[in-house]
């Protein structure tokens, strides 16, 4: 009897967790084309907030965002969520987007 109650509670928590995750993913979509051009500056401000060269970071971030319409979340990493942003390279083969 106690096992079925525990199992039911765990199952309910799992379903609730899945629903919350899906709602979060819909609200905060990432990937190419997930932004409008007017949203680039705000997202790049957040992305470049901890950069040592903020002006340079903002310049390239906005340039990349206007092309890819995507900026990865956070201040560092997560580029895999925006393939265009992640794969755009300089002539030397280094990442163009911060």
User: Coil, strand, or helix at residue 95?
Assistant: strand
Q: What is the pLDDT of residues 29-69, one digit of tens each?
A: 666 667 889 999 999 999 999 999 999 999 999 999 999 99
Q: Identify the CA nearest to 65 among candidates 28, 30, 35.
A: 35
Helix-, strand-, coil-residue percentages of the chain, each rounded to 5 = 60, 0, 35
* Residue boundaries of the structural domains of the chain: 1-29, 31-98
CA atoms of 12 and 89, how far apart (whole Å): 46
Say what the pTM is: 0.66
């Amino acid at each position: 009897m106690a096992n079925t109650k525990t199992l039911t509670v765990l199952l309910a928590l799992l379903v609730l967790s899945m629903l919350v995750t899906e709602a979060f993913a819909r609200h905060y979509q990432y990937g190419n084309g997930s932004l409008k051009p007017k949203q680039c500056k705000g997202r790049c401000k957040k992305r470049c907030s901890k950069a040592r060269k903020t002006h340079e970071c903002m310049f390239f971030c906005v340039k990349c965002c206007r092309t890819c319409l995507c900026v990865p979340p956070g201040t560092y990493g997560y580029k895999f969520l925006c393939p265009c942003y992640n794969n755009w390279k300089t002539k030397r083969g280094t990442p163009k987007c911060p």
